[in-house]
A and B are shown apart, each in its own frame.
Chain A
Amino acid sequence: MEVPILKQGEVLIATFQAALSDADLEHLRRGLVQQVVKFRSRGVIVDVTAMDVMDSFASRTLREIAHMIRLRGAETVIVGIQPEVAFAMVQLGLTLEGVATALDLEEGLAYLIEKFKDVN
């Protein structure tokens, strides 16, 4: 399943749809980094609102995505984690450490805009 990636100025927005297979996540990881390079994006928002479960593979992949994107000089924000998913994640010890998170798309964009100002 293809994850749609939209461009909003200097920010890329990838929106997860429901359940993603491990292959989809792999595909996304490669695709996102390529797009960051191609558009010289400064920020990436990964919207996981539609995910109702987050396992350790997905969690690790998101951290790797953020890490790789940071190596390109861009910042990643994960948005839309549902309360029930967040609760389940911390119980499994999946804390997405080192990755910025925000409540939703609006908050994620606000966070990135602040970050861009700091850099400047």
Chain B
Amino acid sequence: MAKREVTSKDSGARGNSGVELVRSEAPSELLRELVAHLRQNRTQLREEWVVRISETRLLTAMTKEEIFAEATSVYDSYVEALETEAFEALQAYARNLSERIIPRGVETHEVVGIVLLLRDVLARSLFAKYQTDFKKLNRILDAYEPAANRIANTVAVGFVQERERVIRQQQEAIRELSTPVLQVRERLLILPIIGVIDPQRARQLTEQLLRGIRTNRAKVVVIDITGVAAMDVTVANHLVQTVEASRLLGATVIVTGLSPEIAQTLVTIGVDLGKMNTVGDLQGGIEQAERLLGYKVVTLAETR
């Protein structure tokens, strides 16, 4: 006989008379069944989850009300993802959620932690419901576990992607901020450098300067490195190359504000200081640049 009659407590779930085939129900039917259960018990399960979150001391950066609000939407999205298997929508939700909570100081381990806690809370609930029918429990878990794991993965990946996006954005902003090319007179550019220069920043600096020389038709450039504490040999070489490349575009470079340490580095690498135009401070550098360009600055009193 291909069929056998079994009265199952859950026969109402699929609307047939409790006849169970030897072959299991389709996974999608099982999913629908467990999703229905998770929705019915939403309030209780969500509460249980929130309790576990505070027990494990996660999301300490957020208030109870905030956690509750976010937990509600996460719970609903979780169950919906189980039901619809629309993981792209879930990833978009995860990135959106991350955008909100990353500025609050929430870390990756916290996000992964709470999703795994939710997975556990829901799994326990399924154990409780189907504990008397071990075979059915196994089939339910067969449907639940891959989907739940995929959800945890998707949310974690979404969170990390958002963090990486923020980091890239901040790095770009820092770079833009730190290398402005300023025109202070016709044909005269100033490049004030502040902070740490690594080879990548040095390269970006050179490219920006060369473009600036062409755009502004600059004949003199003052590069001020008062704000740079130290420079390694690689970066010092970049500076020399910047001076040489600027000359190829017809611009003279004056370097100002060399600290004693940097002067030492330049001497050590054997820079031909005859080729490099240096002046003590920015003021002196601008005055020399003006002389080169044929400007003379006088006070109004002198012109009367």
* Partner-B contacts on A (CB < 8 A): 78-79, 81, 83, 86-87, 89-91, 95-96, 101-103, 107, 111
10 pairs of A and B residues whose beta carbons are closest in the complex: A83-B210, A102-B250, A103-B250, A86-B248, A86-B245, A90-B241, A90-B244, A90-B245, A81-B248, A95-B244
- When distances are taken between beta carbons in the complex, the residues of chain B under 8 Å from A90 are 241, 244-245, 248
B288 close to A (CB within 8 Å): no
The distance from the CB of A26 to the nearest CB of chain B, in whole angstroms, is 23
- When distances are taken between beta carbons in the complex, the residues of chain B under 8 Å from A96 are 248
- When distances are taken between beta carbons in the complex, the residues of chain A under 8 Å from B217 are 103, 107
Known contacts A95-B244, A103-B217; is-contact A87 B210 (Cβ 8 Å) = yes
* Partner-A contacts on B (CB < 8 A): 206-207, 210-211, 213-214, 217, 219, 241, 244-251
What CA separation (Å) do A111 and B251 show in the bound complex? Answer: 12
Interface of B is mostly: helix
What CA separation (Å) do A72 and B229 show in the bound complex? Answer: 49
Known contacts A86-B210, A103-B217; is-contact A81 B249 (Cβ 8 Å) = yes
* Beta-carbon nearest neighbor of A95 in chain B: B244
**Residue pair A83, B211 in contact (C-beta under 8 Å):** yes
**Residue pair A83, B250 in contact (C-beta under 8 Å):** no
The distance from the CB of B215 to the nearest CB of chain A, in whole angstroms, is 10
* Beta-carbon nearest neighbor of A103 in chain B: B250
**In the complex, which of the residues A78, A83, A95 contacts B214, with contact meaning CB atoms closer than 8 Å?**
A83
The distance from the CB of A85 to the nearest CB of chain B, in whole angstroms, is 8
**In the complex, which of the residues A83, A101, A107 contacts B247, with contact meaning CB atoms closer than 8 Å?**
A101
**Residue pair A89, B250 in contact (C-beta under 8 Å):** no
6 residue pairs bridging A and B, Cβ less than 8 Å apart: A79-B250, A83-B207, A95-B247, A101-B247, A103-B249, A107-B250
**Residue pair B241, A101 in contact (C-beta under 8 Å):** no
- When distances are taken between beta carbons in the complex, the residues of chain B under 8 Å from A103 are 213-214, 217, 249-251
